[in-house]
A and B are shown apart, each in its own frame.
Chain A
């Protein structure tokens, strides 16, 4: 179903883009034309964001389900152990201690479990995919105003890192040599 709507949306975006390209080229000047072409890229990203949102919702629902189930079980245990209506300050303290110990134990057991670890890993992964689409949209906008994209900036960072690494290794070697010669 999702594939169908994706196809439908892409079909009409492409057709309208093709149909309008000539009058657009005629009436617009450079940057506006580039922005019109980029709008397709943004549309694709938005469609894919919707797809990712389905997966994200599935994992986040499971995440809160796991938390609320654990809460429910822990609360039942507390109800069995703690007095119904605590009388006096000492009893309140004791009931609070029981509550904290049981809740911490049960939640730690959950966070330590494979089912939590797997779902949390998938949830973060989906969140990262959503971030990636947002990055892609931002890149399109940055390029439309002639600014470097994230990938282009990353390339510069990588190059700087590599140069700095080489320089600092040479500096270190030089220091060691100087020290050796000074002896």
Chain B
């Protein structure tokens, strides 16, 4: 009897409110499938195989003559850089007066299992840059790479420095041996040859597994508890569902590309040692001699700062800046911090050199 009387009535109230929120959720919230992640208007200006080159419609006067191409990561889709009008990386750059292009890698199928680093670097990325150069009548562009997209962009910049006026590397995957994340631990013990020989492309299920080992209790339980608690906060719910939808949309990674990425970056760590080949070409990071801006996040649990920062010290550029932000991998590109600090700093740096 004593125990019964000691229960705080607020607890019962909280439990009832939470249960009501769970039951009422479908009334207030769209299904993730109903949400359109394409926020900022754009045109598809080139399509090669499954890849698409997107050109965003300017929303203010173009103030800087050098166009910017964003090379998004191989994991998930480019939508995170344009996830919500208030947190859109792309929109912010357009507002700052940049001409922005994005390379969407598309969704590879079994047929694409032989696509390798060479296809991505000297094929898709090179074609996109050539297209932009033709369209804008410029000889050079500014290139930004994010996460594994920065690994591809870094390889490209080292092989074709003449085409890149400024290079921005955002959380680049560079020094696999220094990476302290659980992803790198799994990658180091993986038989990538066997996986590709038997399965073909790296299946999305494997990526979902990798996501599941990242803070499993915070991300797997607490995140959803918070979602139901805040179900009547429209802004919070909309943002939550957009990010969730983005997280659940993981395309496969072409087998040969995945194999080289795991072996050359995580297992043998060839890129930072200037020993990695793309096709027949050796990548020498010292050949990156244009202005370079590196952005890393201290709380990045997908690509640790120790994995990204060596790029800053390995390149041949004399005009180089390294910025470290108190956020995480996604927080650096799609948060209020990215809008208030990361993007203005990057925009200022680019504007001075564009």
User: How many residues of A sit at the interface, in one of the four size bands?
Assistant: 35 or more
A169 to B122, CA, bound (A): 8
Is residue A81 contacting chain B, with contact meaning CB distance below 8 A? no
Q: Tell me, in angstroms, the Cα distance from A176 to B119 when the chains sit together.
A: 18
Is A111 interfacial (CB-CB < 8 Å)? yes
- Establish whether residues B182 and A100, one from each chain, have CB atoms under 8 Å apart when the complex forms: no
Measured between beta carbons, the chain A residues less than 8 angstroms from B113 are: 154, 157
- Please, which residue of chain A has its CB at the minimum distance from the CB of B221? A100
B123 contact from A100, A135, A165, Cβ within 8 A: A165
Chain B residues, Cβ within 8 Å of A111: 182, 185-186, 213
- What chain B residues lie within 8 Å of A160 (beta carbons)? 111
Query: Is B123 a contact of A131 with CB atoms below 8 Å?
Result: no
| Assembled-state Cα–Cα distance A176/B191 (Å) | 40
Say yes or no: is A7 at the interface (Cβ < 8 Å to chain B).
no
The verdict on A89 contacting B10 (CB below 8 Å), with A128-B198, A164-B49 known, is yes
Choose one: A120, A128, A161; the contact of B189 (CB below 8 Å): A120
Of the listed stretches B22-30, B93-101, B126-134, chain A binds B126-134
Measured in the bound complex, the distance between the Cα atoms of B222 and A116 in whole Å is 25
Residues of B in contact, count (CB < 8 Å): 44
Q: Residue B215 contacts which of A104, A113, A129, A162 (CB distance < 8 angstroms)?
A: A104
Q: Is B114 within 8 A of A124, CB to CB?
A: no
Q: Are B216 and A107 in touch, CB under 8 angstroms?
A: yes
The 7 A-B residue pairs whose C-beta atoms are closest, nearest first, are A121-B189, A161-B114, A117-B189, A111-B182, A88-B8, A103-B217, A117-B185
- The answer to whether B221 and A118 touch across the interface, beta carbons within 8 angstroms, is no
Report the Cα distance A114→B182, complex, angstroms: 10
Which residues in B have their C-beta under 8 angstroms from that of A128? 191, 194-195, 198-199
Q: Are A157 and B114 in contact (CB under 8 A)?
A: yes
CB-defined contacts of B52 to chain A, threshold 8 Å: none
For residue B14, CB closer than 8 A to chain A, the reply is yes
- Is A175 an interface position by the 8 A CB rule? yes
**Nearest Cβ on chain A to B268's Cβ, whole angstroms:** 16
Q: A158 near B217 (CB under 8 angstroms)? A: no
User: How far is A113 from B200 in the complex, measured between Cα atoms in Å?
Assistant: 28
B163 to chain A, nearest CB (A): 11
For B8, the closest partner residue in chain A by CB is A88
Return the CB mask of B300-338 against A: 1 if under 8 Å, else 0.
Answer: 000000000000000000000000000000000000000
- With both chains docked as a complex, state the minimum distance between the C-beta of B185 and any C-beta of chain A, in angstroms: 5
Q: Does A168 interact with chain B (Cβ within 8 Å)?
A: yes
Say yes or no for A132: interface residue by CB 8 A criterion.
Answer: yes
B6 within 8 Å of A (CB atoms): yes
- Bound Cα distance A161, B114 (Å): 6
Please, how many angstroms separate the alpha-carbon atoms of A152 and B134 in the complex? 41
Residue with the greatest number of chain A CB neighbours at <10 A, chosen from B134, B185, B195: B185
Known contacts A103-B217, A104-B216, A172-B126, A161 near B14 by CB under 8 Å: no
**Interface presence of B1 (CB below 8 A):** no
Of residues 41 through 64 on chain A, the ones whose CB sits less than 8 Å from some CB of chain B are none
Q: Is the CB of A100 within 8 A of B218?
A: yes
User: Which one of B14, B48, B133, B200 lies within 8 Å of A89 (CB-CB)?
Assistant: B14
Could you pull out 15 A-B pairs where Cβ atoms are within 8 angstroms?
A85-B3, A88-B11, A89-B10, A89-B14, A117-B185, A117-B186, A118-B189, A131-B198, A131-B199, A154-B200, A157-B111, A168-B48, A168-B127, A172-B130, A176-B130
For residue B110, which residues in chain A have a CB less than 8 angstroms away from its CB? 157
B243: interface (CB < 8 Å): no
Q: Decide yes or no whether A87 CB sits under 8 A from chain B.
A: yes
**Could you tell me the distance in whole angstroms from the C-beta of A79 to the nearest C-beta in chain B?**
16
A124 touches B190 (CB 8 A): yes
B134:A120 contact, CB within 8 angstroms: no
> CB distance B114 to A120 under 8 Å?
no
A28: Cβ under 8 A from any B Cβ: no
A146 contacts B by Cβ under 8 Å: no
Evaluate contact between A124 and B130: CB separation under 8 angstroms: no
- Minimum CB–CB distance from A157 to chain B (whole Å) comes to 5
B residues 254-283 in Cβ contact with A at 8 Å: none
Cα A175 to Cα B131 in complex, Å, equals 9
State whether A165 and B119 are in contact (beta carbons under 8 Å apart), knowing that A124-B191, A160-B111, A172-B130 are contacts in the complex: yes
Q: Does A108 belong to the interface (CB within 8 Å)?
A: yes
Contacts A120-B189, A157-B110 hold; do A100 and B222 have CB atoms under 8 A apart? yes
Does A135 contact B191, Cβ atoms closer than 8 Å? no
List residues of chain A with CB within 8 A of the CB of B218: 100, 104
Complexed CA–CA distance, A160 and B49 (Å): 12
Contact assessment for A124 and B195 in the assembled complex, using a CB-CB cutoff below 8 Å: yes
Inter-chain contact A88/B10, CB cutoff 8 Å: yes
- CB of A164, distance to nearest CB on chain B (Å): 7
CB contacts (< 8 Å) of B3 on chain A: these are 85
